[in-house]
Amino acid sequence: MSTLIPTLRNGSKKTLDTSFNALPSLPSWFDDILGKSFGNEFMSNFNTGITLPAVNVIDSANEFVVEMAVPGLKKTDFEISIDNHVLAIGVEKKMENNEELENYTRREFGYSSFKRTFAIPESVDVDKISASYNDGIMKVLLPKREEAKKKPLRNIKIS
């Protein structure tokens, strides 16, 4: 049975080395301490400035469904692509605010992005993949090929 598999950009999470032979590197030590103290819900992707959204992957009889809660965005903020059986869902958002009054000027700007990738199994009909974004939920439907769909139980009579 094939399944939709999230791919990891930075590999698996490192754990703190408990041996006294080698000390962990400073960035790895900070990652371990912060990750254990706060949990993943408070950890942001410091390289991009946006929290990496959690994803639900549902395997039904006829399709895979990828659901991602990403409120506050527009459909046009997303880029969804498929390259060599890898589904990529990403957002890149630039914000700028300028305010000019008589005695001061205020300019604020920000940049945030994320990208989640998933290995697409051979059982998916890549040409029929679709996506929708409603009420802060990005939903990508990956229909299974006819031959990969689960068939109903069939009783066979013995002759």
Task: Please state whether the predicted TM-score (pTM) of the whole model is above 0.75.
Answer: no
- For 4, 96, 98, the CA distances from 101, given in Å and listed in that order, are 53, 17, 10
8-state DSSP, 54 = P
- For 96, 120, 137, 151, 154, the CA distances from 88, given in Å and listed in that order, are 26, 10, 16, 30, 38
Confidence of residue 142 (pLDDT cuts 50, 70, 90): very high
pLDDT in tens, 42-57: 444 444 445 788 899 9
pLDDT at 32: 56
- CATH 2.60.40.790: which residues of the chain? 53-146
pLDDT in tens, 101-136: 777 777 787 778 889 999 999 999 999 999 999 999
CATH among 3.40.50.970, 3.20.20.100, 1.10.760.10, 2.60.40.790 for 53-146: 2.60.40.790
94, β-bridge pairs: 111
Query: What residue type is 55 in one-letter code?
Result: V
